[in-house]
Amino acid sequence: MRKTLLKMKRMMKSRKAVSPVIAVILLIAIAVAASVTVFAYTQGILGGVTQANIRMSGATATNQASDVETATGTGNDSGGDGNPEHVLIFTIQNTGGQEATVDYMEVQDDDETWDSTTTDSTGWIAIYNAGTGELIKSGSASSFSLTVGAGESVQLRCILDGDPGSGDDNLSAPISVTINTEAGDSVSASFNVP
């Protein structure tokens, strides 16, 4: 038994451990790596958690405004130019972790372009919140601001001037929509609607 104890003591003495200097260096490296990971996560570098992420989906369109637009004062010829307005309905989704503010929209079909900064008698866009009926931008306004909260979506009803002057007065597929945010992001989507 005594021999066994002596062998164990010799083994304990001969066993080498990590030096205290290396142990401190390892602990500092682990702490720095953990700090960098937390910083990157909170700044949105990992996974885009703290950034806005705008997407568009679910478009429908008609070549004439409905009774809803007539009842809200936009009418079937709200531009007064003898051309019935078009209606484009689509959803803007913010799947990011921060709110986004949309401040520009452009709609194009195969031969016409509508622009949210246009205020003259042709080529204008009026924008409504389709869920609440709230007017976001009238056809005569040159700017608008639509805030979409983190994780939220807004369905828009856009009334497009019936004759922006460059095409055949009818919406035709594909319809391309581009929106810009105040943060400088630009998102485009193409919709195949009748």
Using one digit for the tens of pLDDT, what is the confidence trace for 42-100?
766 555 445 667 778 777 776 654 444 433 444 444 444 445 577 888 888 888 888 88
Neighbours of 62 (CB within 10 A): 15
For 158, residues 6+ apart whose C-beta sits below 8 A from its C-beta are: 87, 88, 89, 90, 105, 107, 125, 126, 127, 128
Which token pair is 122?
């042709």
Residue 75 is predicted with a pLDDT of 42
| Domains along the chain with CATH numbers | 2-42 (no CATH), 54-191 (2.60.40.10)
More confident residue, 158 or 171: 158
Q: Could you give the percent of the chain with pLDDT greater than 90?
A: 6
Residue 122 is predicted with a pLDDT of 66
Instruction: Say what the pTM is.
Output: 0.63
CA atoms within a 13 Å half-sphere pointing along the CA-CB vector of 139:
25
Which token pair is 105?
């929209």
Q: Residue 54's closest CA among 160, 173, 156?
A: 156
User: Would you call 120 helix, strand, or coil by DSSP?
Assistant: coil
- Name the most confidently modeled range: 28-32, 61-65, 175-179, 185-189: 28-32
- Name the most confidently modeled range: 58-72, 140-154, 158-172: 140-154
